[in-house]
Amino acid sequence: MSNTLIAPSILAADFANLQRDIEMVNNSEADWFHIDIMDGVFVPNISFGMPVLQAITKHTKKTVDVHLMIVNPDRYIQTFADLGANILTVHYEACTHLHRTLQAIKAAGMQAGVALNPHTNIALLEDVINDIDLVCLMSVNPGFGGQSFIENTYKKVEALKEMIEDNGASTKIEIDGGVTDKNAKQLAKAGADVLVAGSYVFKSDNPTSTIAGLKDLLK
Ligand code: DX5
Ligand code: ZN
């Protein structure tokens, strides 16, 4: 639990002051930088695309964790590698040939992540768990920041942790959506390795100390 990582989600930042918000994360105790790419097809929202991602990765000093909420992610794997993604997460629900996609992400030099929507059973990952560096459990329906945390997530984290251990895998578990000081500790206790936090960090009065407060909670 002492090593739980915090990944602020840029989706909740002030896009008119992006560089300021990136510097805030750079100078904070945050571990990763979570970047949400939405296509308006897989999810009912469009966030931003390659030019903005390029501007972001130019300034980030932390691990760049890209979460793709797009259909046909295979088309853009090399592009995201070129733009500086360290971890590339695709949605299980958007991949017909998940095993092939995971291999392609790794071949492009990135760590491979798979995200699951709240309704998707973790058992569907068992046959590829040893090929996955990161499982991102969605604790809200993807598409928007600022939604309420879905309580069923705790059970999923515990079951996923057990599956990872049973298979001798080194897969990390990330939780994405509605993370606050109210659920962070319990999530870490259940087995979460990385907590994404958007609104809770960026909409707070002092994002730097909010991040520090989360890290403190998780010590
Ligand atoms: C939701 C995104 C999340 C979002 C989290 O579709 O994947 O990363 O930014 O935002 P909060 O922490 O506000 O729920
Ligand atoms: Zn995300």
Is the confidence at residue 178, as pLDDT, over 80?
Answer: yes
Please check the confidence at residue 131 and state whether its pLDDT lies above 90. yes
DSSP state of 192: -
Out of 11, 67, 136, 201, mutate this one to test ligand 1's pocket (max ligand atoms within 8 Å of CB): namely 11
**Residue 176 annotated as binding?**
yes
Q: What is the ipTM of this complex?
A: 0.99
Query: Stretch 70-86: mean pLDDT, rounded?
Result: 98
- Look at the alpha carbons of 148, 149, 152, 153 in this order and tell me if their dihedral is positive or negative: positive
Ligand 1 centroid distance, CA of 134 (Å): 17
pLDDT band at 2 (very low <50, low <70, confident <90, very high): low
199 has pLDDT over 70: yes
- Is the pLDDT at 1 greater than 60? The verdict is no
SS3 category, 207: helix
Q: Is the CB of 11 under 6 A from ligand 1?
A: yes
Taking only Cα atoms into account, the Rg of the chain, rounded to an integer number of angstroms, comes to 16
Whole-angstrom distance, CA of residue 14 vs CA of residue 66: 18
DSSP at 9: B
Question: Considering the domain 5-217 in this protein, what is its CATH number?
Answer: 3.20.20.70
Annotated domain spans of the chain = 5-217
Give me the phi and psi of 205, to 5 degrees please: -65, -35
pTM of the shown model: 0.98
